[in-house]
Structure 1
Amino acid sequence: MKRFLAAALATSICVTAFAGCGNNNNGSSAASASKNESSAVSTSSTASAATGETDFSTQDPYTVKLLIPGDAKTEDCKEVSEAASKILQEKYNTTLDITRVGFGSYPDQVNLMLSSGEKLDVLYNNRDIFVSAVNNGQIVPMEEYLSEYGPDLLTEIPEERWACTSLNGKKYAVPANKEIAVSWGFACVKEMADATGVDYSNIKTEDDLLPLLEAAKEKFPDVWPVVASYGGMSIMNTADDLGADIGSLEDCTNPDDTTVVNFFATDTYKDIVERRYAWTQKGLIIPDASSTSEDSSAQIAAGKGFGMFTNTKPGIEGELEKKTTKEMLVFTLTPVYTSTTRLDILWYIAHNSEKPERAVQVLNEIYTNPELENICINGIEGKHFEIKDESKGIVGYPEGVDGTNTGYPSYPWAWPNEMISYTWEGDPEDIWQQTSDWNDSAVISPAMGFSWDNSSVLNQVTACKNVKSKYENALGTGSIDPATALPAFLQELEDAGVNDIIQEKQKQLDAWLASNS
């Protein structure tokens, strides 16, 4: 299998450098493939660029605590941590402590650990905390550590992607190497959709879903046609939120419009929330969807739901099938596009890390070492996964194990570099090439690479965030009537200073566009 892992890494170097922000990282691929192939063959050898002449195995012992979302059993996380630590101890005298927290409670856990000073070194989080975490001092810049402790990250991540995770000239986050383009859609159980007798071949918009949902309700009266995930639903749109906070390009597939607007005040948003409220009144959306404390996939797996809104990408059907245990049908409802925000999974170094350089070192190794990345993603061979085809690097669940009972579910997209990991059965064998092609196919936002700095309007940002938390999920899931709630939402945003944020974001965007023209 190590022979396969070396080949997988070498191949991934050739297919992963989209453009984060538009261009391939040509010129370094051959050298990177060569050096990383040798590092993957033996975990006891020194990763060439990462170590140079230094023997990092003589460092003082240190434990890197890593925080990532996704339900998993504590004992399984401990077992996976021990397997990963065997690699890291030999090369770096470092122990890895993986802590996983359920998606629903993860944001609160991150806030608690960052504010309490509890030991934490490296963490996953979404793009939406980036600017505030930088300005609040919750994460530390990686700049001074990368050349010595993370040189492979510097080599393998295109500068255009680094630009999307930098602020004021400093690199603050490692972007996950995954799909960085997105389209939005709807997923449902194929067997149930077929049983309705509805011709679903021409579903292209959210409106087009209505006949299928109504037929599903009639055919399966005890199953909700649409379920929510932890109180929220994806919004089918092509807006670019320009990095974080309120203030968006309404349609970033239009290169000629760089006007920053309050997306919640647009007709696009109004149409979506009115439609979803109407569907709730018809019984097509689970009641009180904004109060749902379960993942939508779990509800579908339990037979409570027919479908859910989702992002779409190559392999999304297989990914959802792992979680729902059912064959899933996915409809794409928006164009494929990319923006700074679409580099959405970022890896940060916490301000409370005692040794940030060791955290960077671990990130560097996970990003480039297929054996280590596969342990972190998939767990223990024979318990959480098993090899189905060694020559092709295809894995699946062992007998008696599935996405509902495994103690360590696999979420490749959440880790630093899924492109060097195994392919799960059910996914296309060339899933990583398809992912690269998907990235290349995306319409690129005219603001791609722009990083928003909210430091001058932090009070308004905080106030508007509180207003959003009051209304956004309730409106987006059809749980409250937009006829009264939407005007109240917009007024409270104005009172909280939304126009100040939009004005400042427009000013910064205009300056960035001028300097990049």
Structure 2
Amino acid sequence: MERGAKIFSLFIVLYMMLSLFAACNEDKNSQKKSSEEPLEQAKLLILTGADQTEQPDAQIVWDEIAKVTADNINIKIEVQSYAWGDYVQKVNTMAAAGQVFDIYLNFQGFLSGDVSKKQCIELDELIDKYGENIKKMVPADLFSDVSLNGKIYGIPSNYPVAGGTAFIIRKDLREKYNIPEIKDLSGFEAYLEAVTTGEKGMAGFVGRGGAGGLDFDLAFGPDVLNIGSDMAVFAEIDPDIKPYKAANKLTSDSFKKRMEWLKKAYKNGWIPRDILTIRDENTLLASGKAAALCNDMWTVNSLGPIVRAYIPGGELETFTFRDYSMPMIRMTKVNNFACISSTSNNKERAMMFLDWMRASKENYELYMYGIKGKHWNPIGDNQYELPEGVDPAKKPYNPSPWWAKVMQFDRLDKLSEPGFLHIYNQVVDAKYTTPELINFSFDSEPVKTEWVQVGAAYAEIMGPIGQGINDSEADYLAAIKRFDELGMQKIIDEIQRQLDAWAAKNKK
């Protein structure tokens, strides 16, 4: 009897163990099944600036992206495109109001402020979890460009980061007035004089600054590391002078030389009288109302077809003051990158989509060029052409690439502008060195009040001075004094303090 009881007890224990094993196995199978179930569709709102804000076929492409991602990341995108002159203010307004958006194009000059305002989020953990292809496709040295205090806040666009800016002018007008190809400042002056004299009502040079202004600066001084924003540079650091010194940009020799030239240009009528109210110089050039501007090399590809379509005989070309025979040095941080908004309700899915864009050439091409056969046709591996009947000046799908550009996947338009190719072919495979100084990132938080005050007043105070309108020495000195009252010197001192600390820490 006792032996039978023991056997029965053993049987019960064995049964319970088998039941427990089966339950565990069932739980694992259930988890596996659950993990294989498709994600619920998430909607992502993307904000960007664009040359072409209206795109009739955008929804068709967005629907196709939703279709091809349904079995994996399962997202449905909407891209809101704004004119460049309105874009930054639109993002700031939406963020301040707490409006929900997910991914937005950002620029180097605004990163520090956005981090301080908690407008964008840290991305390190999301990249580690969902950014396998981002790590493969983005050059490692670019991540330091979008980092503050050791944390990554942006996914860099990948494009030539040295030497990709240029002047864009009307080739047909240069030839009309028998001006030789422009190679220096005197040649540019001859062009502006001829056009503003001979073309009634046409503005001359409408370059207000921004990334393209870097090429203009080369006429007055060497490449330096600028601290500030695209439109308001506060300090400069010369990488060739050690120990490193942060100098007030507005009192530098190069700025004074630039200012003197702009005084002459304004006096001679080469700069329009309403230069301070111009918000979209690209449209002025494309519509035949301006003769020259500075921008990146891709801009000529966007504007060239429009000029030919609406200006009889119109043709654009590019030139630069950069000497491509000299070694290339990367003195600017990557200026275009994607941030994830702190108001996003789908932060993980936003990172998944940024990674999806870099996972394959097919994924990238779907967003960048649209539906194959409808919006574009491939030519080999590296070019494309528009289908017959598609007007290059009014493409039904022509998205802004700057929040997610991947140079390794890019195709060139078969009809790329000669002015674009003139610059692109010299920089796309160019070897460049990156000075150690590029890794220095300034945190404006300790001087956030002064930073905001100086930045807000910059256009009002320096606009008339920097464009040659108020041309007296007294005007200039009054502007410098006003900036000092707003805290410019405190900003310079803080930049120097952080620069010294960075140099000591990194033994530079």
What TM-score do the two structures reach when normalised by structure 2? 0.80
The alpha-carbon distance between structure 1 residues 136 and 410, as it changes in their structure 2 partners (threshold 3 A), is closer
Q: Which amino acid aligns with 2:317?
A: L
Partner of 1:59: 39
**SS of residue matched to 1:342:** coil
Partner of 1:305: 290
Structure 1: distance between partners of 2:414 and 2:365: 15
Partner of 2:356: 365
**SS of residue matched to 1:90:** coil
Q: Does 1:284 align with 2:270?
A: yes
The alpha-carbon distance between structure 1 residues 246 and 221, as it changes in their structure 2 partners (threshold 3 A), is closer
Structure 1: distance between partners of 2:421 and 2:165: 23
Q: Which amino acid aligns with 1:426?
A: L
Q: How far off is 1:261 after superposition?
A: 1.0
The alpha-carbon distance between structure 1 residues 331 and 366, as it changes in their structure 2 partners (threshold 3 A), is same
Pick from 427, 430, 453 the counterpart of residue 463 of structure 1: 453
Pairs within 5 Å for 1:254-269: 254=240, 256=242, 258-269=244-255
The alpha-carbon distance between structure 1 residues 433 and 306, as it changes in their structure 2 partners (threshold 3 A), is closer
Structure 2: distance between partners of 1:430 and 1:267: 31
**SS of residue matched to 2:79:** strand
Q: How far off is 1:413 after superposition?
A: 4.2
Q: How far off is 1:380 after superposition?
A: 4.5
**SS of residue matched to 1:361:** helix
The answer to whether the 8 Å contact 1:228/1:477 transfers is: no
Q: How far off is 1:198 after superposition?
A: 2.1
Partner of 1:178: 159
Structure 2: distance between partners of 1:146 and 1:272: 42
Structure 1: distance between partners of 2:127 and 2:100: 22
Q: Does 1:329 align with 2:317?
A: yes
The alpha-carbon distance between structure 1 residues 423 and 503, as it changes in their structure 2 partners (threshold 3 A), is same
Q: Which amino acid aligns with 1:409?
A: N
Could you report, residue by residue, the CA deviation over 1:133-164 in whole angstroms, capped at 9, with x for unpaired residues? Answer: 11221111011212221122123333322122
Partner of 1:406: 395
Q: How far off is 1:423 after superposition?
A: 1.2
Larger-gyration structure (1/2): 2
Q: Does 1:437 align with 2:429?
A: yes
The alpha-carbon distance between structure 1 residues 301 and 246, as it changes in their structure 2 partners (threshold 3 A), is closer
Structure 2, gaps ≥5 residues long: 1-32, 218-222, 309-313
**SS of residue matched to 1:225:** strand
Q: How far off is 1:464 after superposition?
A: 0.8
The answer to whether the 8 Å contact 1:273/1:476 transfers is: yes
Pick from 76, 99, 104 the counterpart of residue 123 of structure 1: 104
The answer to whether the 8 Å contact 1:183/1:334 transfers is: no
Pairs within 5 Å for 1:218-297: 218-228=197-207, 234=213, 236-237=216-217, 238-242=223-227, 246-249=233-236, 251-252=238-239, 254=240, 256=242, 258-294=244-280, 296-297=281-282
Structure 2: distance between partners of 1:388 and 1:457: 51
The answer to whether the 8 Å contact 1:67/1:120 transfers is: yes
Structure 1, gaps ≥5 residues long: 1-52
Structure 2: distance between partners of 1:282 and 1:503: 38
Structure 2: distance between partners of 1:147 and 1:367: 15
Q: Which amino acid aligns with 1:278?
A: K
Q: How far off is 1:291 after superposition?
A: 0.6
The answer to whether the 8 Å contact 1:59/1:92 transfers is: yes
Q: How far off is 1:362 after superposition?
A: 0.6
Structure 2: distance between partners of 1:261 and 1:185: 26
**SS of residue matched to 1:346:** strand
Q: How far off is 1:418 after superposition?
A: 4.1
The alpha-carbon distance between structure 1 residues 327 and 267, as it changes in their structure 2 partners (threshold 3 A), is same
Could you report, residue by residue, the CA deviation over 1:446-495 in whole angstroms, capped at 9, with x for unpaired residues? Answer: 41111111111111101111121313444444444364543232112101
The alpha-carbon distance between structure 1 residues 397 and 223, as it changes in their structure 2 partners (threshold 3 A), is farther
Structure 1: distance between partners of 2:137 and 2:378: 29
The answer to whether the 8 Å contact 1:142/1:171 transfers is: yes
Structure 2: distance between partners of 1:431 and 1:220: 28
Pick from 62, 72, 81 the counterpart of residue 100 of structure 1: 81
Partner of 1:395: 385
Partner of 1:132: 113
Could you report, residue by residue, the CA deviation over 1:286-331 in whole angstroms, capped at 9, with x for unpaired residues? Answer: 221121133x33222222122222345xx66545524544532222
Q: Which moved more, 1:479-488 or 1:276-285?
A: 479-488
The answer to whether the 8 Å contact 1:467/1:492 transfers is: no
Structure 1: distance between partners of 2:107 and 2:114: 11
Partner of 1:28: none
The alpha-carbon distance between structure 1 residues 68 and 320, as it changes in their structure 2 partners (threshold 3 A), is same
The alpha-carbon distance between structure 1 residues 288 and 243, as it changes in their structure 2 partners (threshold 3 A), is closer
**SS of residue matched to 2:213:** coil
Structure 2: distance between partners of 1:57 and 1:280: 65
Q: Does 1:192 align with 2:178?
A: no
Structure 2: distance between partners of 1:419 and 1:399: 29
The answer to whether the 8 Å contact 1:72/1:408 transfers is: no
Structure 2: distance between partners of 1:502 and 1:515: 20
Q: How far off is 1:270 after superposition?
A: 2.0
The answer to whether the 8 Å contact 1:135/1:455 transfers is: yes
Q: How far off is 1:248 after superposition?
A: 2.9
Q: How far off is 1:174 after superposition?
A: 0.6
Structure 1: distance between partners of 2:210 and 2:110: 19
**SS of residue matched to 2:180:** coil
Partner of 2:133: 152
Structure 2: distance between partners of 1:514 and 1:246: 25
Pick from 42, 49, 55 the counterpart of residue 69 of structure 1: 49
Structure 2: distance between partners of 1:338 and 1:232: 14
The alpha-carbon distance between structure 1 residues 496 and 229, as it changes in their structure 2 partners (threshold 3 A), is closer
The answer to whether the 8 Å contact 1:242/1:447 transfers is: no
Pairs within 5 Å for 1:412-427: 412-427=401-416
Structure 1: distance between partners of 2:306 and 2:408: 20
**SS of residue matched to 1:241:** strand
Structure 2: distance between partners of 1:230 and 1:156: 30
Structure 2: distance between partners of 1:257 and 1:437: 32
**SS of residue matched to 1:272:** helix
Structure 2: distance between partners of 1:263 and 1:494: 13
The answer to whether the 8 Å contact 2:46/2:104 transfers is: yes
